[in-house]
């Protein structure tokens, strides 16, 4: 099992550019989430999904889109990157009958 994988590991964008952060899990988990982690702010929930075709907003959703067409994949789209989106992004998944979230290795994003 690869667990939760994220690509890319690092990315530098210019303001206004768009991109997609990829997340995949091979554990057949129903729930998947995207977090951003900033110094002094902890992990903040951006969007989450409770199953294929079902997504909802978290604490900080503005500027981000998600979709969940399969159980395995949960991409995060930045529509028009802003310097305030410079952060480390983590994807996580868990089964519906468990409280244990598995996190991916993260994507470090810099927006200039």
Site residues for other proteins per CB under 8 A: 4, 31, 33, 40-45, 48, 50, 56, 58, 90, 92, 99-106
Q: Roughly how many angstroms between the first and final C-alpha of the chain, as a whole number?
A: 36
- Could you tell me how many residues make up the chain? 112
Q: Name the minimum Å distance from CB 21 to other proteins.
A: 14
- Smallest gap from Cβ 111 to other proteins, in A, equals 19
When the beta carbons of 17 and 71 are compared against other proteins, the nearer one is 71
Largest CA distance in the chain: 41
CB atoms within 10 A of CB 70: 10
């Amino acid at each position: 099992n690869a667990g939760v994988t994220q690509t890319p590991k690092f990315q530098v964008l210019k303001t206004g550019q768009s991109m997609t952060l990829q997340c995949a899990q091979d554990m057949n988990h129903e729930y998947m989430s995207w977090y951003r982690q900033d110094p002094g702010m902890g992990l903040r929930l951006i969007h989450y999904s409770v199953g294929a075709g079902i997504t909802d907003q978290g604490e900080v959703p503005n500027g981000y889109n998600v979709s969940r067409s399969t159980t395995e994949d949960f991409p995060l789209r930045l529509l028009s990157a802003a310097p305030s989106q410079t952060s480390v992004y983590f994807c996580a998944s868990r089964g519906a009958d468990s409280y244990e979230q598995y996190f991916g290795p993260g994507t470090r994003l810099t927006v200039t």
